[in-house]
Amino acid sequence: FDTEQLLSSMEKLRKGQAVDIPNYDFKSYKNNVFPPRRVNPSDVIILEGILIFHDPRVRDLMNMKIFVDADADVRLARRIKRDTVEKGRDIATVLDQYSKFVKPAFEDFILPTKKYADIIIPRGGDNHVAIDLIVQHIHTKLGQHDLCKIYPNLYVIQSTFQIRGMHTLIRDSKTTKHDFIFYSDRLIRLVVEHGLGHLPFTEKQVVTPTGSVYSGVDFCKRLCGVSVIRSGESMENALRACCKGIKIGKILIHREGDNGQQLIYEKLPSDISERHVLLLDPILGTGNSAVQAIRLLISKGVPESNIIFLNLISAPQGVNVVCKKFPRIKIVTSEIDNGLNDEFRVVPGMGEFGDRYFGTDDE
Ligand SMILES: Nc1nc2c(ncn2[C@@H]2O[C@H](COP(=O)(O)OP(=O)(O)OP(=O)(O)O)[C@@H](O)[C@H]2O)c(=O)[nH]1
Ligand SMILES: O=P(O)(O)OC[C@H]1O[C@H](OP(=O)(O)OP(=O)(O)O)[C@H](O)[C@@H]1O
Ligand SMILES: O=c1cc[nH]c(=O)[nH]1
C-alpha cells in the first residue's frame, strides 16, 4: 500500500491538479506493467478500496465515509468469479487463499474499520434508497456556500432568479432611491421570514371548520428584535409585519472609538435575557459592529444560542469573525459577497446601505 503516494495524489486533486495513478497488475504483482491512469480534479472525489479507513490521515481527508456491507456469500462468489476470470487463477487456489488469508484478514483489518463509517449500506449497488440519500447529500453540499460547510449555524437563503434579480437591483449604483428601498424591503422580508423559521416551536392541534383536527405548531412567544442603528432600523417594519406587536430594542455603535468601536446608545427590553433575540443589521462587513452588539446582548444575559442575526449581505471576513467568536448564534443572510476593499466596504456590495436606504447619500 503506497499510502504516501495516495496522500500526495489526494492533496494534488484537492488543489485542482491532475494526477497519474499507477495501474497495479494482479498477474505479475507489479506497478509498472501498464501505463498509469490519469485522474482529473473534480468537485467530488470518490476514494474507494477495502482498507481505505485504515490510515487516520486518509480518513481525515474524507467528508463522507461509506461502508458497503456485502453479504459474506456474495463477497466469496464475486471473488471466485473475479479471480478466475480476471486474474487467471484456479478455483482451488482462490478458495485456499480465501480461507487462509482473505477471510481472517477481512475480520481482523476490514471489519473493524466499519466503526469509522458515517453510513453503512447493506446490499451495495442494489440499495437505491441509500444511493438516493447519498446523492441528495452531495447535491446539498455542492449547492452550499463554502462557509456553510464550515459553520453549521450559517444559513444562506436558497437563491432563486427572483432573489438574484432583487440583488441585481439593489447593488446597481444607478438604481433610484425609491427602487432601492422597494427591493431591499422585499429581500429583508424574505430574510426575516427565514430567520423566524429557526425559532423553536411547540406542537399544537386545532379543529378546522370541517370538524377535523389539524396537527400543526404554535409560534415561539418570547421573542424580541434588536436593531443596530441606523441600517438595522430598515428591517424593523418587516419584523413587525411578521410578528404583531413585537418589542424592538436598539443599539448604536460608532465605528471610530475605543478599539475602533464605541457603544453610544442602547435601549433593550428589560426581560431580554428570557427572550429569543432577532438581531437586525443588513450589512455584515468586518464583523466589528456585530461582535459589539452580540457581546452586549450576552452581557445582558441573553444565551448565545437564543440569538438569530438577520443579515442581507455578508462579507466572508465578518462571517468568520462572528461564527468563530459565537459558534452558537445563528446567522441568516441572503448573499455572501467576495470580500472587503481597503476601506472595509463589502465588495461587490451595494455601497453604504444606510445612506442609500435613508436618502442621505449625495445624489
Ligand atoms: N464489507 C466489504 N467487504 C469487502 C468489500 N470488498 C471486498 N471486501 C472484503 O475484503 C476481502 C478482500 O477483498 P479484495 O478486493 O479481494 O482484496 P485484494 O487485496 O484485492 O485481494 P488480492 O486478490 O489478494 O489482491 C473480500 O473477500 C471481502 O471479504 C466491500 O465492498 N465491502
Ligand atoms: O461589519 P462592520 O465592518 O462593522 O460593518 C457593518 C456596519 O456598517 C453599517 O453601518 P454604518 O456604520 O455604515 O452606519 P449606518 O447604518 O448609520 O449607515 C452596517 O449597518 C453595520 O452596522
Ligand atoms: O459595505 C459596507 C460596509 C459597511 N456598511 C455598509 O453600509 N456598507
Q: Does 287 sit in the ligand 3 pocket, CB within 6 Å?
A: no
Mutate to test the pocket of ligand 2, among 353, 355, 357, 358 (most ligand atoms within 8 A of CB): 353
Distance of CA 355 from the midpoint of ligand 2 (Å) = 10
248, 239 Cβ separation under 8 angstroms: yes
Query: How many Cβ atoms sit within 10 Å of the Cβ of residue 302?
Result: 23
Which of ligand 2's atoms lies nearest the C-alpha of 353?
18
Q: Does 230 sit in the ligand 2 pocket, CB within 6 Å?
A: yes
Phi, psi dihedral angles at 254 (to 5 degrees):
-95, 135
285, 318 Cβ separation under 8 angstroms: yes
Alpha helices in the chain (DSSP H): 3-14, 56-59, 72-85, 91-97, 103-105, 128-143, 146-150, 161-171, 177-196, 236-242, 288-299, 316-325, 353-358
Q: Which ligand is nearest to the CA of 50?
A: 1
Q: Which residues contact 361 (CB under 8 A, 6 or more apart)?
A: 351, 352, 355
Nearest to 233 by CA among 270, 265, 196, 201: 265
- Determine the Cα–Cα distance for residues 36 and 22; give it in Å rounded to an integer: 4
Distance of CA 143 from the midpoint of ligand 3 (Å) = 27
Q: Does 349 sit in the ligand 3 pocket, CB within 6 Å?
A: yes
Which of ligand 2's atoms lies nearest the C-alpha of 344?
3
Long-range CB contacts (within 8 A, 24+) of 182-186: 184/234, 184/282, 184/312, 184/353, 184/357, 185/234, 185/237, 185/238
Q: What is the pLDDT of residue 259?
A: 62
If you write DSSP's letter for every residue of 165-188 in order, what string do you get? Answer: HHHHHHH-TTS-HHHHHHHHHHHH
Q: Does 353 sit in the ligand 3 pocket, CB within 6 Å?
A: yes
If phi > 0 it is left, if psi is from -120 to 50 it is alpha, else beta; for residue 334 that is alpha
Which of ligand 2's atoms lies nearest the C-alpha of 261?
4
Pick the residue whose CA is nearest to atom 19 on ligand 1.
50
ipTM: 0.53
Distance of CA 287 from the midpoint of ligand 2 (Å) = 9
Residue 44 vs residues 20, 23, 59, 85, 143: alpha-carbon distances, Å: 17, 22, 16, 32, 12
Q: What is the chain's pLDDT, residue by residue, as a tens digit (363 residues)?
A: 889 999 999 999 999 999 999 988 888 888 888 999 999 999 899 999 989 999 999 999 998 999 999 889 999 999 999 999 998 899 999 999 999 999 999 999 999 999 999 999 998 888 999 999 999 999 888 888 889 988 989 999 999 999 999 999 999 999 999 999 999 999 999 999 999 999 999 999 999 999 999 999 999 889 999 999 999 999 999 999 999 999 999 999 887 655 666 888 999 999 999 999 999 999 999 999 999 999 999 999 999 999 999 999 999 999 999 999 999 999 999 999 999 999 999 999 999 999 999 999 875
307, 279 Cβ separation under 8 angstroms: yes
**Cell, residue 62:** 474524507
**Scanning the structure block, which residue is given the C-alpha cell 472525489?**
45
Mutate to test the pocket of ligand 2, among 251, 253, 283, 356 (most ligand atoms within 8 A of CB): 283
Q: What is the pLDDT of residue 95?
A: 96
